[in-house]
Amino acid sequence: MRAFMGLDVGTSAVRAILVDEMGRLKGASAVRLSLSTPKPGWAEQHPDDWWKAAVTAIKQVVKKSKLKAIQVGGIGLSGQMHSSVFLDRSGEIVRPALLWCDSRTTAECREITERIGEERLRQWVANPALEGFTLPKVLWLRAHEPAAFRRVDKVVLAKDYIRYRLTGALACEPSDASGTLMFDIATRRWSSEMMEAVDLPMSLLATVGESAEVLGRVSAASAKLTGLATGTPVVGGGADNACGAIGVGAVRPGEAVASWGTSGTIVAPMSEPKVDPEMRAHTFCHALPDSWYMMGVMLTAGGAVAWHQRELARELEGRAHANLLLDQEAADTPVGAEGLTFLPYLQGERTPHRDASARGAFIGLSLAHSRAHLSRAVIEGVCFGMMDSLTIVRAQVAPLSQILLTGGGAQSPFVRRMQADVYGLPVVRVNREQGPAFGAALLAAVGVGAFRNVASACRATLKRLAREKPDRRAHAAYAAPYARFKALYPALKGLL
């Protein structure tokens, strides 16, 4: 029996899974990661910590699966987008990686926009210059740490650093390259025009292959560390959002995925690279050939819910099912939280505001409000933020008949119900809830010939569960609270 490994380098953990050719889970492991915030707005992790966590996760999952190393037929990689790894000529790390949620690069984004202009950004890379993207981080390093910048030979992304450590190959693929602001999304190649405009050499960038293409094989040294077999194929893999979409079967136009991780995303596949006229949502390459997706992003979705539980419900810390207790509190509170609104901009926001300095707030607090109202307002605020993204995406892509759910927002019946009612669309889960790691495993299976293509892999391994339809009255009841939510950001901009 062959099994396929999906390895996902997230922000909070590195996860490894093994699945067989029917998609059945044979083993899973997760190793937690910590986040460094040396200054306000900064967010860093050391790539060596990703590698150490990956080695541990791989060893654990192989042991749990009770499979022999030779039975691992291929490995697919997934990971956090945008996060920059700076390597010198010997492949050593120059400094800790600047993460997707790092917002120190506002000046660099302004410089890019002023030098190039939004119209050429739309033409060359299909996206605006935002703090989270990779290119502004490279320019920040050049401006603020010139000695470190002079050492840099290659800039790679999180999952691609793990590929380098596993195989010795420096390679990337289109879905992750899309988030660098250095990649031509339409032609699926690095943008020489962009690199010339910011005076950076093309040699900084890794070779681009396809997501299901074998781009390296496990080296003897890495095999010794991980317990994998020398020569095990490692495919291109994909960005976490692209792999997450594959992991629930969203591979064709007309489908969309709502995912709650630390951030929250709405991802909708497209057959051509359409761009939102105001570039409030992103256009990226999907992790399969000749396919793209539009994505709206809120920077704190599950992150806001976790913050609420950690800071405002500390007496529940360590109790079993603490999240379910908070959900029940919220469920017992009326729609709209009796006038209380939460803005979930705890780390700035992307869609629709493109504002790294945006901050969160509770608006409308009174003595009549309890923690239950705050619990309800937080979940509503996240759903309203996701609705902002969904509205923009729906205007550009094929009509949507339902929303596939994955991540934290798929686990709670109360949160699933709220999403259906706020979005006004049926929501549906699949029988596999392994997130981006599952999509990465399917890419590995395709890459070594177990399936003809990604679509056939999804059909063979995924089953959709019953649709949960919205309640029309509830959907109508959310109209006024959502309108209040939308009015608050422009009213408070510059004050928070």
Other beta carbons within 10 Å of 117: 12
Query: Which of 45, 126, 37 lies closest to 79, judged by CA?
Result: 45
The SS3 assignment for 293 reads: strand
Query: Is 64 within 8 Å of 84 (Cβ atoms)?
Result: no
Which string of DSSP letters, residue by residue, matches 314-365?
A: GGGTT-TTHHHHHHHHHHTS-TTGGG-EEE--BTBB-TTT-BTT---EEES-
Give the distance, in angstroms, between the CA of residue 329 and the centroid of all CA atoms in the same chain: 29
The SS3 assignment for 298 reads: strand
Q: Which residues, other chains included, contact 209 with Cβ-Cβ below 8 Å and sequence gap of 6+?
A: 171, 172, 173, 215, 236
- The DSSP bridge partners found for residue 78 are 8, 238
Containing H/E element for 75?
A: strand 72-79
Other beta carbons within 10 Å of 416: 18
Active site residue 276: no
Tracing tokens 């020569």 back to the chain, one arrives at: 231
Q: What backbone torsions phi and psi does residue 7 show, to the nearest 5 degrees?
A: -125, 115
The SS3 assignment for 265 reads: strand
Kindly name the residue from 240, 355, 388, 421 that is annotated as catalytic: 240
329 is written with which tokens? 């509190």
Tracing tokens 């603020």 back to the chain, one arrives at: 144
DSSP 272: S
DSSP 69: G
Alpha carbon distance 457, 17 (integer Å): 16
Give the distance, in angstroms, between the CA of residue 360 and the centroid of all CA atoms in the same chain: 21
314 is written with which tokens? 């500390």
48 is written with which tokens? 């060596």
Other beta carbons within 10 Å of 111: 16
Helix axes 322-331, 371-394, angle to 10 degrees: 80
Active site residues: 240
